[in-house]
Amino acid sequence: MNFSRPEQLQELESKSEFDLLIIGGGIVGSAALEMAASSGLSSILLEKNDFASGASGRSTKLLHGGIRYLPQLQFGLVRESLQEQKILIKLLGGLYKPLKLLAPIYKDDGFADLPKILQYNFISSFAFKLGLTLYDLLGSRTKKQRHINFDKSKTREMFPLLKQEKLKRSFIFQDAQTDDAKLVVTLLRNAVEINNATAINYMEITDIKKQSSRYQITAINKLKGNKYEFFANNIIAATGVHALPGDYAVKSSAIKFSGGAHLILKDDPLKINGNGILLPKTEDNRIMFVLPWFGNTIVGTTDTETFSGTLDRPYANTDDKEYIIRHIKKYFNVDTVEYISSWSGIRALIDNKLTSSKNVSRGHFFNNIDERFIQISGGKLTGFRLIAKESLENLFNDNFKLTPLSFIDEVLDLSNKFNENDLKKCFEHYCIAKPTDYMLRRTHISWFNNSGGKDELSKIIENFDIDGIEVDTSEELYDEGLLNETY
Q: What's the rounded Cα separation, in Å, for the pair 70 and 86?
A: 19
Q: What is the DSSP letter of 243?
A: P
Q: Can residue 59 be called a binding residue for ligand FAD (CB under 6 A)? A: yes
Residues in binding contact with ligand FAD, number by CB under 6 A: 37
Q: How far is the CB of 444 from ligand FAD (least distance, A)?
A: 17
Q: Can residue 35 be called a binding residue for ligand FAD (CB under 6 A)? A: no
Residue of 382, 436, 443, 449 interacting with ligand FAD (CB under 6 A): 382
As to burial, measured by CB atoms within 10 angstroms (0-12 exposed, 13-18 middle, 19+ buried), residue 356 is exposed
Q: Can residue 443 be called a binding residue for ligand FAD (CB under 6 A)? A: no
Site for ligand FAD in 241-260 (CB under 6 A): 242, 245, 260
3-state per-residue secondary structure call for 40-78: CCCEEEECCCCCCCCHHHCCCCECCCCHHHHHHCCHHHH
How far lies 140's CA from each of 80, 83, 100, in Å?
12, 9, 17
Q: What's the rounded Cα separation, in Å, for the pair 279 and 300?
A: 10
Q: Count CB-CB contacts under 10 A for residue 143.
A: 6
Residue 344 or residue 446: which is nearer to ligand FAD going by CB?
A: 344
Q: Can residue 174 be called a binding residue for ligand FAD (CB under 6 A)? A: no
Binding to ligand FAD by CB under 6 A, coded x per residue (else -) over 72-101, reads ------------------------------
Residue 245 or residue 280: which is nearer to ligand FAD going by CB?
A: 245
Q: How far is the CB of 62 from ligand FAD (least distance, A)?
A: 3
- Identify residue 414 by its one-letter amino acid code: L
Q: Could you tell me if 189 and 201 are in contact, meaning their C-beta atoms sit under 8 angstroms apart?
A: no
Residue of 12, 21, 28, 217 interacting with ligand FAD (CB under 6 A): 28
Q: What's the rounded Cα separation, in Å, for the pair 364 and 28?
A: 11
Q: Could you tell me if 454 and 466 are in contact, meaning their C-beta atoms sit under 8 angstroms apart?
A: no
Binding to ligand FAD by CB under 6 A, coded x per residue (else -) over 191-230, reads -------------xx-------------------------
Residue of 66, 110, 139, 379 interacting with ligand FAD (CB under 6 A): 379
Q: Can residue 452 be called a binding residue for ligand FAD (CB under 6 A)? A: no
List residues binding ligand FAD (CB under 6 A): 23-29, 46-49, 53-56, 58-62, 64, 204-205, 238-240, 242, 245, 260, 302, 345-347, 379-382
